[in-house]
Chains A and B, each alone.
Chain A
Amino acid sequence: DAKTTQPPSMDCAEGRAANLPCNHSTISGNEYVYWYRQIHSQGPQYIIHGLKNNETNEMASLIITEDRKSSTLILPHATLRDTAVYYCIVRVAEGGTGGFKTIFGAGTRLFVKA
């Protein structure tokens, strides 16, 4: 799976949009971009994933550049409860019998401040 690069930490004011960047310059054509977050003392939580089109769900939006070498996770109105470590992961999304695991990096520690 391709390697990702994320800033180690970011701050965001409560109520403002949090924009978390991720570089994945070696991403392959069949690799998806996944985002998870981990709130302190809890297991990671799936947020969103995409291939090349922008995606939005009730938690966040995912913007993937046209060349797919980077992406941004957007939390439109950050709250204090969004303080967490955010992980950007690229991996294939196979439907066959291949054995592909999800590999986590160090992530970005987002601090949402009042």
Chain B
Amino acid sequence: DTGVSQNPRHKITKRGQNVTFRCDPISEHNRLYWYRQTLGQGPEFLTYFQNEAQLEKSRLLSDRFSAERPKGSFSTLEIQRTEQGDSAMYLCASSLFQVPGELFFGEGSRLTVL
């Protein structure tokens, strides 16, 4: 399968711990996006990359959140000092620069903070 891959699919952690999620986009896609989704809501934009450059960050992305895409391929999203309010599904998507509105999403990484 050559779709968007996210790991881990589920993560349970205690408040105050750090967690990291990984996203492997479709190989030829140069744009990569992170979204967060809570129950009953649509996905909320967090940040996006074009190749290795982080072009935009939402105000939702507090300083406890950091995202990287060091070689323009896979990306990581780290949350430091997790809080219960961080519990959500974290979705990664990728797209071609030439077709920016057609996003391909992964299955998501579900975070539960106890």
Contacts from A to B (Cβ < 8 Å): 32, 34, 36, 42-46, 49, 85, 87, 89, 91, 93-95, 97, 99-107
Contacts and interface: CB of A to CB of B under 8 A. Distances in A.
Contacts of B35: 104
Interface stretch (B14-22, B70-78, B80-88, B96-104): B96-104
Interface residues of B, number: 26
Contacts, number: 58
Contacts of A85: 42
Given A43-B108, A45-B105, A87 B42 contact: yes
B45 A102 contact: yes
Given A42-B107, A43-B105, A106-B42, 6 more contacts: A42-B108, A43-B106, A91-B101, A94-B100, A103-B45, A104-B42
Given A99-B48, A103-B45, A104-B43, A43 B100 contact: no
Nearest to B42: A104
